[in-house]
Amino acid sequence: MTSETRIRVLIVDDSAIVRKVLTDALSREADIEVVGTAPDPFVARDKILSLQPDVLTLDIEMPRMDGVTFLKRLMHYHPMPVIVISSLGTASSRAALEALEAGAIDVLAKPGGPQSVGDLRLSLASKIRAAKVARVTAPPPMEAAPIVRPARMLQVQPFPASAVIAIGASTGGTEAIQKVLVDLPENCPGIVITQHIPAVFSRSFANRLNEVSTIRVREAEDGDQIEPGLALVAPGNFHMLLKRAAAGYRVEVKDGPMVCFQRPAVDVLFHSVAQAAGSNATGVILTGMGSDGALGMLAMKKAGARTIAQDEATCVVFGMPKEAILHGGVDRVLPLSAIPGAILSEARR
C-alpha cells in the first residue's frame, strides 16, 4: 500500500509515553501511517495545517488548552474526524462525552503503558478506519445552549405490556441514541441499548441520557427488570441479554468472548431479544462501523419483531445499518428524525 492511500493520523497527547504507545500500536497496520505527534493543541494546530492528517487522536487533559476546548475550535474552523482518547476517571468520562457532543467521532480509553499495545491495536485501528469514512457533521454554535430535560413528552396512548425496544449502535451512536430517546414519551415500552463504548464511559453516557430525556435511563445491572419508561444501557466490556421473567423481562449482564470484535455486542443483545420477546419486540440499528447486529436483527425479524435501520444520509458511518439491510433483517429504513415516531407506531402493533 502506498503512502498516498494510507490513512494519515496525527496523535495529540501531552504524555510522551502515550504518544509512543499509540504510534507503536498503529505501526503494524499497513493502511495507517502516523504522520506526526503533538504534545498540546498549539503544536497540533500548526501540524494539522502542515501535515494535513486524515484523522486526529485527541487527549482531553492537556496543559495550555484542554482537549474539549481545542476540539470545539477545531470543529468550528477546520472540521475533521477526531477520536478522543481519554483516561477512565469519572470527570474525564464526562469530558469525553462532551467531546462527542462537540463533534468527535468516537472515544477510546487511554492505554496504561507499553504493555497495553496489544489490547489497544485492533480497537484503535478499527476506530481510525471508521473515522476516515465518517460523515463529519456541521459544527454546533460556539456558544450552544445547554440541553435541558424536556417536559413536553408526556404519557401517550398506552402500549402493550409485553412490548420491548432494542437499540444497537456504534460509531456516532452516542449522539444518535440521544436524539432518539429525547423524543420518546415517559410511558414508552422498556428499552435495552447496546452501544459500543469502553468501560466506565458507559455509566457517564447513561447518566447523560437520563439528564436530557423524559424517560429514565441508567446503566444496566444484572437482573434489572424491564419497565415502561426505562432504558437500560449495556455496561462497557460486558454483554447484555434480554431474558423472560415471571412478569415481563429482565436483563442478564455477563462476561464472555467478544462477538464481532465487540463487548458489549449488538448481536448478543438482538439474538436474546429474538428468543425472549419475539413478535413483541421492535429492533433499531443505528450508525456504526462493521457488521455487528446484522445477524441478530435478522433473527429478530424471523421471530416476528419489527425492525428499523437508520438511513445512509443521516448516519455518521453507514456500516452496521447497511449490513443489516443486506442480510435481509430490516423492515424499514428511515432518517434518524423519523425513528422515534416509527418506534412508537411499531410498538403498538
Q: 262 vs 143, which has greater pLDDT?
A: 262
Which residues have a Cβ under 8 Å from the Cβ of 324 and sit 6 or more positions away? 285, 293, 294, 297, 298, 307, 309, 330
Using one digit for the tens of pLDDT, what is the confidence trace for 213-231? Answer: 999 999 999 999 999 999 9
pLDDT surpassing 80 at residue 139 = no
> How many C-beta neighbours within 10 Å does residue 27 have?
12
pLDDT at 143: 47
Q: 34 vs 149, which has greater pLDDT?
A: 34
Q: Is 196 a catalytic residue?
A: yes
Q: Assign 3-class secondary structure to 12-28.
A: ECCCHHHHHHHHHHHCC
Q: Which three cell numbers stand for residue 76?
A: 468550528
Q: Is 31 a catalytic residue?
A: no
Which residue is catalytic, options 86, 92, 126, 170? 170
**Bridging pattern class, strands 216-219 and 190-195:** unpaired
| Nearest by Cα to 345 from 161, 133, 163, 81 | 163
State which fold the 164-347 domain adopts. Rossmann fold (3.40.50)
CATH 3.40.50.180-classified regions of the chain: 164-347
**What is the CATH code of the structural domain delimited by 7-133?**
3.40.50.2300
How far apart CA 307 and CA 327 sit, in angstroms, is: 12
Q: Is 78 a catalytic residue?
A: no
pLDDT at 285: 98
* pTM for the whole structure: 0.90
DSSP state letters, 269-321: HHHHHHHHTGGGEEEEE-SBSSSTTHHHHHHHHHTT-EEEEE-GGG-SSBSHH
Using one digit for the tens of pLDDT, what is the confidence trace for 3-41? Answer: 678 999 999 999 898 899 899 889 889 999 999 999 999
Which residue is catalytic, options 13, 93, 183, 196? 196
Which residue is catalytic, options 13, 224, 267, 292? 292
pLDDT at 146: 47
CATH 3.40.50.2300-classified regions of the chain: 7-133
